[in-house]
Amino acid sequence: MHKSGRAGLAATLLACLLAATVALAAPGFATTAVVPGTTAAAPPASGAYVDPLLRDALANAAPADELVAIAAVGSVATPSTLDALRSTGVAAVGYRVLPFVAVRGTAAEIAALASLATVQSLWLDKPLEATLAQSTEQIQATDVWNPSGPFGFTGRGVGVAVLDSGIDGTHPDLHFPEHTIQNVKLLGYQKVFADLVFAQENVAVTDWTSGHGTHVAGIVAGDGTAGGGAYRGVAPGANLVGVGAAEGMDMLTALAGYDWVVANRDAYGIRVINNSWADGKMAYDERDPLVQASKRAVEAGITVVFAAGNDGQASGNTFNRYAWPSWVLSVGGVDKKGVLGTYSSRGDATHHADVVAPGTFIASARARLGPVSQVNATPFDLTEPTAPRMVPVEQWGDYTVKMGTSMAAPHVAGLVALVLEANPSLTPAQVEAIVVSTARRLPGCPVVDCGAGLVDAFSAVAAAVGARNAPPVAALAATPSSGAAPLDVTLDATGSSDHDGSVASYRWDIDGDGDTDATTDEPALAHTYGPGVHRPSVTVVDDRGLASVAASVEVRASQPPVASAAVAAKAKAGSAVTFDASASSDPDGSIASWTFEFGDGATMVSSSPVVTHSYAATRSTMYGWRVTVTDDAGVSDAIGGALKVTP
């Protein structure tokens, strides 16, 4: 199983900067390749081109300020190239396959680079606050996450299987086993036939060969930890399940992946499987084992998402054959302006991408281990060729930029996780219908290329919420909830809610006997309670007629306690005087506390009715004492007297 073909995409930084080249995708995955090339226009006679932002930064920098910039050097930097740059005093780090060098130094040091023959252009390092963050905003996923908005969904509790090259579980955004809750290594045929097993579970790192699966997983559900939240995936709260064929995807390993996912669906809550791999050349046959495998997954309640493929808009139908079935949710790729990527495979009137999602210059998690040298792995986002954005230099080890329908599909897999958190009861067919029906039509992009249009996470989640029609939730408070009878109480149900509508009415059981005593449109009701313990309740009804479970509260309207105390009339200074309030009583409850005021400024709150106290006196003195008893309803009574203390 492999993706073949070549997607053409021209992207220039500036006329005097570097031309882009197009290279083949990594075998087996629907990723097109775009890197700045090694041929550049001759630099101006006056020296290297310096972009306007860097010119401003150089002009305004203090002598000791350090700047970070990118130097275009025409080819992959050699040790001698780096030595030449470092001779100006800058720190310089060359890319592995790109004709760029990251440089850091003072304004004078960086300005001196422009005079070097090896430097063709210089660019200010601008943080890539956009890219994955930009693409999640483009499909309105950020509005779905917003805890202050109507939803606050992040895909919590939804398992998303990523059938790909694997996941680097050491990456902070995808960490195993907390966020990537299971990571499975699919074994190649040599081990399968020797060891009679298809997969090895609980492997922290399964992505050793390309970084493709790690990048895809980050788009689905990366939590952005390494980048301070800047590069969160579409469903950062979802549970990732890595199903990795690091040695290369073929029918055997892909089938093993589906086999494992379906068998473990319940154990890991898997509701979605992302497939960023394609074959647009084979003849479609519904009997194909992988076509049947995807059907089995759907029958098990798993939504199957497939990349459309990267064979572009050549004549004929180049659409990924594994995305043809009606039960598959298929995804083409667009850029951040909503323009169809030239790599995205064209379909026909019958078989075409259901929807499109961002797939061009997407920054996501970069595998930390193993060779991750795919030719389209770069920190640059060339959405705006004259103003390229980039991942901050300090995050190059954690994030990279890729493009292709491989990147578009996981946007939709993450969106499905959001939809399923909003409404877990949806079937795969219902999920697909919601995603397709809420997509936004892209003007000028025909159905054979863009299907229903650009996915809209906010509208899809709203539709999912509307489809579930959950009953409202009642809440009740009483103010006050205790006191002396008769007790005037306000029953307040304003805390009641209805997640998918509004509360229309309130049914009150004022006496707590199970009968409805009043129905109101307002959430508050006043009532006076006589002596006793009462348990009023409220049931709320939403605008669709669904009733909640009743919420109740305890109201204690108490008869006051009766205070009684025995205290000696006379006492000697320094001797203990006993205060005995044990004869106090409460006719409809119990006394909870006794407060003793001894008259000499001392006070004692006690859970015991009997206490002692000593007085100091240098002459005969009369002290007025007071005992206050408080019952379990908070109602009090007091008694007092006086005693004479002599030296």
β-bridge partners, 506: 520, 540
Q: Please name which of 69, 19, 11, 127 lies closest in space to residue 390, comparing C-alpha atoms.
A: 127
Whole-number Å distance between alpha carbons of 122 and 507: 71
DSSP label of 422: H
Catalytic position from the list 121, 210, 364, 406: 406
H helices then E strands: how many in the chain? 14, 37
With beta carbons less than 8 A apart as the criterion, state whether 306 and 3 touch.
no
Give the pair of three-digit tokens for residue 180. Answer: 């990537």
Strands (E), 222-269: 239-244
Torsion 70-74-76-82 (CA) sign: negative
Catalytic position from the list 171, 179, 212, 352: 212
With beta carbons less than 8 A apart as the criterion, state whether 36 and 23 touch.
no
* Cα dihedral: 302, 304, 305, 308 (round 10): 180
Catalytic position from the list 51, 121, 135, 164: 164
Helix (H) or strand (E) holding 256: helix 251-263
Whole-number Å distance between alpha carbons of 187 and 462: 41
Distances (CA, A) of 75 to 67, 114, 120: 23, 17, 10
Q: Which amino acid, 236?
A: P
Whole-number Å distance between alpha carbons of 605 and 62: 68
Whole-number Å distance between alpha carbons of 16 and 317: 38
Helix (H) or strand (E) holding 218: helix 212-221
Q: Which residue's structure tokens are 């109507």?
A: 150
276 counts as catalytic:
no
Helix (H, G, I), strand (E, B) or coil at 505: strand
406 counts as catalytic:
yes
Q: Which residues of 304-313 are buried (b: 16+ CB within 10 A; e: fewer)?
A: bbbbbbbbbb
β-bridge partners, 483: 557
Sheet holding 503-509, edge to edge: 518-520, 503-509, 537-542, 551-552
Q: Please name which of 613, 639, 636, 641 lies closest in space to residue 627, comparing C-alpha atoms.
A: 639
DSSP sequence for 393-419: GGGTTTEEEEBSHHHHHHHHHHHHHHH
In this structure, the number of other CB atoms found within 10 A of the CB of residue 100 comes to 24
Residue 400, burial from CB neighbour count under 10 angstroms (0-12, 13-18, 19+): buried
DSSP sequence for 188-210: PHHHHHHH--SEE---SB---S-
Whole-number Å distance between alpha carbons of 414 and 303: 11
Q: Please name which of 464, 439, 273 lies closest in space to residue 356, comparing C-alpha atoms.
A: 439
Compute the 3-state secondary structure of the chain and give helix, strand, coil in percent, each to the nearest 5: 20, 30, 50
352 counts as catalytic:
no
Q: Active-site residues: which are they?
A: 164, 212, 406
